Structures are given as structure tokens and as C-alpha cells.
Chain A
Amino acid sequence: MYCNQPPKKPGDKKEVLQKITNMARANSLWVTAYGTGCGSIELRPLGTSRFDMERFGIAMRPTPRQADVLIISGYLATKTLKRVIRVYEQIQDPKYIMALGSCTINGGMYFDSYNTLNVLDKYLPVDVYVMGCMPRPEAIIDGFSLLMKKIKEGRAVGWKHYRENLDYYRENQKQIIKNWDLPDYNW
């Protein structure tokens, strides 16, 4: 056996460091234990022995301050959106959002409800959508592997987008949250 290609030269020092960091981040995704809809039921078998997401380095954390990933599991009411924004803004950078189910994509079966929002990425930056109603644990694992791939390639930059376009997101959020009393930030 022999190599048919010359060894690649390592790139810029910063780039290499970034790659290593991304790999470390992708292999230790910690999830906020926060369920918004019916999809959080599918996260329980995912966490326990049958599907066992700990083998991918994914763990549930009780507080957003220790977590990287926020899972929007299913339909999102405007009342819940306010709490979700609060939780999302407490997560340390870098942070990723995974949205489950057709409700977060286009409203799903609640498209004509008076209290559930239809298009989630108007209010929060979503990195990965997992389709299904509800997605099975296998589909969620597939979504996680896609998220890992995006992080390794440095394409999961929803949190940067949120910071840079805060005005856009705030405007949309204030349109549907009638009693706005969240604090204003100036990063």
C-alpha cells in the first residue's frame, strides 16, 4: 500500500485551530431540556437506552447556560415563543437551533390556528429542520448528524446571523408578542 497523493500542507494556523475547535464542538452537543410541543415525547426514547444519543456525545442539560443546542420540538405558541427567545438568548455562543416537525416549517396542521406561529425562521435562526409529524428518533438522529456535519464545515452560523440581524428578528418577534417585556441587548 502506498499513498497516491502528496501530503497536504497544513493551512493557516488559525484555520487549523478553527477546524479542531469545530470538531470538538460537533462531537459534544449538549441540548437544553426544554420541550415546546408534542415532539418532546420523541426525545425521551432518544435519550434512553434504545436509541441512546449519548453515543454521539449528545446529552441533555437542565439549564440553557450549559447547553449548545435548543430543540424546538413541534408547534410553537406565541406565549411559548416568548420563553423560547429568553432561553435562546441565555445560551452561550456558539448555539444552534434544531426545529422538529412540519409545524415549525409551515404551520403543519395548525396553519390556521390563532395562537401558533407558522414560519419559525422569521423569529429565530434555525440551523436544521427535521421534517415529519412527528419525526421518529431515527429522523432526529439524522438531523443531529446533519447538524454535526454543518458545524464541522463551519456552516452552522445561525447565532452569528441572529446577532447581526437582531433588528430584523426583534421586529418580527414584537409583531406577534403583544405584551413585550424582554430586555434589550447591545452586544
Chain B
Amino acid sequence: MIDKVKKELEIRFPLLKLVREQHNYLHIKVDKAAAADAVLTAKTSLGFTTLQLISAVDRIENGAFQLTWILENYDEQEILLISAYFPRKNCVVPSLSQIWPAASAFERELFEMFGISFPGNPREGEDFLLEGWKDMPPMRRDFETEEYARRTFGERQPREHTDPRQYIGDVVGEWNTPMGRNREEEK
């Protein structure tokens, strides 16, 4: 069945590249201008009515974000992945929240985590997970996570001694048991 889907898509989008194909799984890559069109076609005429996920990968070496729409055809148990590369600087991607209401949440998350803008999403810019975040979006690969964590949250100073008696002794009181005392006397 996935051959039918592939042929149909190849007729409509002659520039697509095949990434991976299995008996019920198809991953294609299209041009960024045709991405929204391809997703819409898959929904309206090929039966991929469920949007499972919109994922983004930061391809910093290509200067691009790879966006992937993961669609599912429940009746045929098929999965279709449509990928496209969008330039990394001032990344703008067409929103699909008018077609799938569920896309709104994914798009808000991507805006927060990668800084990808989805004009047309009515809830864009609302807080999703990071409340009041003012720094660079944290999932970008040029974001220095460890440095940020050290600067913001600090770290506990390590102990100077490795002998537990030095720091645990009177706090717990367990070291003053007869057994502990005997051991000290032996020394």
C-alpha cells in the first residue's frame, strides 16, 4: 500500500527525495516551499489524518533546522514522515494549527525550545514549559547548557574529606554505637 502513496506523492512533488522506505513506513524529504503543501495533500487525499508529532533537529553544520511532520494513517496502519530543511536564521515555518488543533501545542514547544516561529498559530509565544525564559532557546546546539546550569543553579561544594566520620559523625549519631567506639579504640 505504501507504494501507492509514494507514487501519488512523486507525481505531485517531482523534487522529493526518498530517505527510507519499509512495508508500512515512508520517509520523504521535500523542498521547504512545498512542505506545508505535501502535509496537506497527505491529509486530504492520502488518508494520513493523524498528526503524531512535529519534530525539529538542529542541523547547525548545514545552517538549517530539519522539521519533520510525522503522520499516521490509522486504517492502513501506515506512517509517513515528511521532512524539510528551513534556514536557521529567523526560521519561519507555516503553521498547521488551523488544520490540526493538536499542532498548536507542538508549534508552541518548538517556538520555545528552538525559536522557530509559526505565524498563523493563534497561541504562539504563550508560555509552554519554560516560564518567563529570556535566554537563547535551550535546545539550539550553540546554547551552552553546562555553563548556563553552573551560572544559574550553582553547584554544591565537594567535601574535603572522604572519611564519613568527618562529616556524618554527630549528625546521625550512629558512629557512637559500641561497635564504632571499639573500632576507634583498636586503632
Contacts and interface: CB of A to CB of B under 8 A. Distances in A.
Interface of A: 78-79, 82, 105-107, 111-119, 122, 146, 175-179
A68 B127 CA distance: 32
A79 B133 CA distance: 11
Contacts of A105: 156
Contact of B154 (A112, A116, A118, A146): A118
Contact of B130 (A79, A118, A122): A79
> SS class of chain A's interface: helix, strand, loop or mixed?
loop
B52 to A, nearest CB: 25
B132 A179 contact: yes
B156 to A, nearest CB: 4
B148 interface: yes
B47 interface: no
Contact of A178 (B131, B143, B155, B172): B131
A117 B129 contact: no
Nearest to A110: B149
B145 A178 contact: no
Interface residues of B, number: 20
Interface of B: 127, 129-134, 138, 143, 145-146, 148-150, 152-156, 172
Given A82-B131, A146-B172, A178-B134, A112 B156 contact: no
A111 B145 contact: no
A106 B129 contact: no
A107 B143 CA distance: 20
Nearest to A179: B132
Given A105-B156, A176-B152, A176-B153, A115 B132 contact: no
Contacts of A106: 155-156
Contacts of B143: 114
A6 to B, nearest CB: 25
A93 to B, nearest CB: 24
Contacts of B146: 112
B160 to A, nearest CB: 15
30 contacts: A78-B131, A106-B155, A107-B153, A107-B155, A107-B156, A111-B149, A111-B155, A114-B138, A114-B143, A114-B145, A115-B130, A118-B149, A118-B153, A118-B154, A118-B155, A118-B156, A119-B153, A119-B155, A119-B156, A122-B154, A175-B152, A176-B152, A176-B153, A177-B131, A177-B132, A178-B131, A178-B132, A179-B127, A179-B131, A179-B132
